[in-house]
Amino acid sequence: MTPLFDSFEKAAAFVVDRKVAMIDLKFCDLWGRWHHVTLPAGQFVPELMEEGVGFDGSSLGLTAVSSGDLVLVPDLATGFEDPFWEVPTLSFLCTVLEADSRVLFPYDPRTVARRAEEFLKTSGVGDHSRWGPEFEFYVFDGVSFENGMNVAAYRVESAEAAWRSHELGSGHTIRRHGGYHAIPPQDRLFGVRTKICQRLEAMGVPVKYHHHEVGGPGQCEIETPLLPLVHAADATLLAKYVTRMTAHQLGMTATFMPKPLFGEAGSGLHCHQQVWGGGKNLFWDPEGYGCLGELARSYMAGILEHGAAVMAFTNPSTNSYRRLVPGYEAPISAIYSLGNRSAAIRIPKYANHADSARFEFRPPDATGNPYLAFAAQLLAGIDGVRRKLDPTALGFGPVDEDVFAWPPERRATIRALPTSLEEALQALERDRGFLLEGGVFSAEMLDRWVTKKREEERQVRDRPHPYEIELYYDL
């Protein structure tokens, strides 16, 4: 991301020159949702950078009620003009501080991500990491849902869907699983994606490309180049914000949930990653498998070894595991491979140069908090490098075959990844030492995460499912 400002003076001059009316301060709660507070431009004064803007952290699950006061301080390097406001508005992402001491609030997700970057430097493994999340999402024409004692229902509509062909009469719908790189007029969303990409680039988020994804009824993908960890997490939340707001402006609705449609492709947040040091991509080895060297192999082994616990952050919703089922190119096996989309770790065949060599961890989805999800993957990889783990010796491959075509007894030889949120949370309770290294996470934060996510799982588990009525009502 290209910073718009490197000093308060430049930001203040921008406010005057562009006749900015409002300053919007955005920040992320522990669970990955953005919140904001808005100030008149006259309040944008140097004291703001020292005093910040107070808010109640207990209302967002960040603190206890007895000690809820926190403050927001804008990160000037993240400033951008928000295109969705009726009046000129300058937005900043914020750092969260303790209200009394003004020290960094330890549960601020951006601060956690920064601690992970600092730990990478002190670990001796590298000096920074680079991340390239793939943003997959659905754009629908409408969505409705209802949950109560006597009703449980939802419905989505898409003009691209084959189920609408009898109503629309154009014949240009997309068949199930037929959306990959679809072209207009079947692809009705190319203009929407273009608007999203233009707005992201205007905010300083570079875009590689966009296209229609496999899911026929409105699935899309946008990719960015690889970015430093905190910038990549910032870009993830910006992409979600811009996508939702652009769809909203056009009378549509967008969702990043992993599995909004039964029987159709799910949406992931595949995480391409590298470790750099001394100006070089430390994963690169022209003689290695997939052009990756020993450091990359150990890093991958760390992610696969800790994969179940990592998924408590990369796949922290019950809906995550509706996507992670056999078929649909679902990465449910703890293996790595060159180009094999059924593997948890895939090495792109086209990433075969010194700067591009990398791998992608495929299970993640966008229901996670990207700051925590990226940090957890980085810490798992660092642990693998420090322990010199060998992915082949641990049984992680490489496997260059479609494991879904194997007989059950052969598939059973591969370590499976969690198939439910509860499994991932249990793994995090058992395997958390690597997350505590360098003080990046704390035991209290991990406990808080498990408690919150386990309550979500219970809320879903306790409710009768609509399909259960069809299956069992007459028994």
How far apart are alpha carbons 303 and 273 in whole angstroms? 12
Q: Write down the catalytic residue from 108, 213, 305, 457.
A: 213
Q: 428: closest CA among 404, 406, 407, 457? A: 457
Contact indicator for 334, 304 with CB cutoff of 8 Å: yes
Tell the residue number behind the tokens 């296209």, with chain if given. 211
Q: Write down the catalytic residue from 114, 115, 199, 270.
A: 270
Q: Is 409 a catalytic residue?
A: no
Contact indicator for 102, 108 with CB cutoff of 8 Å: no
Contact indicator for 269, 236 with CB cutoff of 8 Å: yes
Task: Please tell me whether the peptide bond between 40 and the residue prior to it is cis, using omega within 30 degrees of 0.
Answer: no
Instruction: Provide Rg for the chain, Cα atoms.
Output: 23
Q: Write down the catalytic residue from 75, 82, 108, 136.
A: 136
Contact indicator for 259, 323 with CB cutoff of 8 Å: yes
Q: Write down the catalytic residue from 160, 221, 223, 383.
A: 221
Supply 399's token pair: 């496997």
Please state at what angle helix 229-249 crosses helix 109-123, rounded to 10 degrees: 150
Q: Is 360 a catalytic residue?
A: yes
Tell the residue number behind the tokens 């391409």, with chain if given. 272
Supply 424's token pair: 């991932």
Q: Write down the catalytic residue from 341, 411, 448, 454.
A: 341
Tell the residue number behind the tokens 């616990």, with chain if given. 309
- In Å, how far are 151, 162, 170, 269, 351 from 219, measured between CA atoms? 28, 13, 20, 13, 25
Would strands 359-361 and 343-347 be described as parallel, antiparallel, or unpaired? antiparallel
How far apart are alpha carbons 31 and 34 in whole angstroms? 9
Q: Is 213 a catalytic residue?
A: yes
Q: Write down the catalytic residue from 160, 234, 285, 360.
A: 360
Q: Is 432 a catalytic residue?
A: no
Supply 153's token pair: 């229902």
Q: Name the maximum alpha-carbon separation found in the chain.
A: 72
Q: Write down the catalytic residue from 115, 362, 365, 383.
A: 362
Q: Is 221 a catalytic residue?
A: yes
Q: Is 270 a catalytic residue?
A: yes
How far apart are alpha carbons 259 and 255 in whole angstroms? 10
Q: How many CA atoms lie less than 13 Å away from 218 in the CB half-sphere? A: 25
Q: 286: closest CA among 355, 337, 189, 376? A: 355
DSSP tag of 292: B
Q: Write down the catalytic residue from 9, 56, 69, 400.
A: 56
Residues 6+ apart with CB under 8 A from 39: 22, 23, 24, 25, 48, 53
Q: Write down the catalytic residue from 29, 82, 134, 223.
A: 134
What are the two backbone dihedrals, phi and then psi, of residue 228, each rounded to the nearest 5 degrees? -55, 155
DSSP tag of 65: G
How far apart are alpha carbons 427 and 424 in whole angstroms? 5
Tell the residue number behind the tokens 């990549």, with chain if given. 232
How many C-beta atoms surround the C-beta of residue 278 within 10 A? Answer: 7
Catalytic residues: 56, 134, 136, 213, 221, 270, 341, 360, 362
